[in-house]
Amino acid sequence: MQLLEGIIRDYDWGSTTSIPELLGRPVDGTPAAELWFGAHPSAPSLVGCDGVALDALVAADPAAALGEAVAAHFGSLPFLLKVLAAASPLSLQAHPSIPQAEAGFAREDAAGIAVDAPNRSFRDRLHKPELICALTEFDVLCGFRDPAATLEGLATIAVTALNTVRDMIEADPSPAGLSNLLEWLLTLDAADSAALAEPVVAACVIATEGPFAAERAMAAALGARYPGDAGVVTALLLNFVTLQPGEALFLGSGNLHAYLQGTGVEIMANSDNVLRGGFSSKHVDVPTLIDVVEAHPVVPEVQRPALINGVATYDIPVPEFSLQRIEIDGECVLEPGPAILLCTKGHAECGDHVLDRGSAAWTPASDGPLTLTGRATVFRAGVGLLPEIHAQKA
């Protein structure tokens, strides 16, 4: 086990307080949006006193770092752990499946678009499933709501500007119809976008009580942040969920979503493929987004795992990562790595190493089981069941 230094990303939507307070650092007014723990090549964490980059450490001896099975299957650390602290909304976005990512990456390579170009949609050949676990109340837009419920919600916003939206849903509430509606919203010019969004936001500001009040308040807040953006109406088509601390949501390929506000622990596959659909000045590739987005309505499955012997295990249906929340009260034995440990509360010790609030550690596969002692909340990010192991267990 070696202590791990995370890398702060200062995107403008970040909180100025959450991550500095977690790390015990002064609050200086600079937004700190994400704290990365992992081996992503754009911002690898630094390991131990020598400050070796984690991706270089893994590459030097993959079998020792990852274990032979994980090294053979993935070749590198397949997940990225983050603390995400949103003071304002992130972009509406979706992530591709592996076949979509492979095809898109090849297509953009063939077109001569540089991997780091601002108009590039696919920066690698991987999918990017993710799970967000709330540390504070955390607001999320997550997948299309049932069209009947969406119409009920839109009926509480009494503006004629929404007539076209209502008519399109009533005419074709199927996934294909919702996909067509999304494409229409994404391709409005600036004037038409404002003509749609502004009266909707004004009505939501006024109507603060009654059914769908939370959704209207959400739309009003988005409209204040992104005036004239038709993404406000897109947001009203999606499920609006508020996670309580310890609760989590898994977001798979094609799920149109946005994190709106709050602080949470996020774990994902080690990919940077993001297709945006609003609330962003960055590249929006509408045809590719429409191809990737899964428009079948979903009911968000909020995870509230029970503690079993002090361990809450989140349900993650992909092999790239796993996540456990461990409430240590005395002594706890952790299974072998590869894993990243993040302490969000209290104090725990492992040999000569100390994990305080905000600190993290890297545990390679070669370490074997570890014993932590103390009183602390520790998140353990690891690799999930590999397909061949899963098949054997089934």
Q: Which residues are catalytic?
A: 276
CA distance 226 to 297: 26
Of the candidates 215, 239, 242, the residue with the CA atom closest to the CA atom of residue 297: 239
CA distance 5 to 28: 20
What's the chain's Rg over C-alpha atoms?
Answer: 22
Q: In b/e form, how buried is each residue of 321-347, taking b as 16+ CB within 10 angstroms?
A: bbbbbbbbeeebebeebbbbbbbbbbe
**Percentage helix, strand, coil for the chain under 3-state DSSP, each rounded to 5:** 30, 30, 40
Find out whether 43 and 4 touch, Cβ atoms under 8 Å. Answer: no
Q: Is 246 helix (H, G, I), strand (E, B) or coil?
A: coil
Q: Phi then psi for 222, rounded to 5 degrees?
A: -65, -40
Give the C-alpha separation, 146 to 208, whole Å.
23
Output the CA–CA distances (angstroms, integers) from residue 389 to 137, 186, 254, in the order listed. Answer: 36, 42, 26
The string of DSSP codes covering 49-81 is TTTEEHHHHHHH-HHHHH-HHHHHHHSS--EEE
Whole-angstrom distance, CA of residue 90 vs CA of residue 280: 8
Look up residue 387 and give its two tokens.
């397909």
Q: Are 168 and 160 in contact (CB under 8 A)?
A: no
Q: Which two tokens stand for residue 84?
A: 């995400």
Distance from C-alpha of 390 to C-alpha of 378, rounded to nearest angstrom: 26
Answer for the pair 179, 287: CB distance below 8 angstroms, yes or no: no
CA 214-216-217 angle, to 5 degrees, is 65
CA dihedral 320, 251, 222, 7 (to 10 degrees): -10
> Rounded to an integer, what distance in angstroms lies between the CA atom of residue 120 and that of residue 327?
42
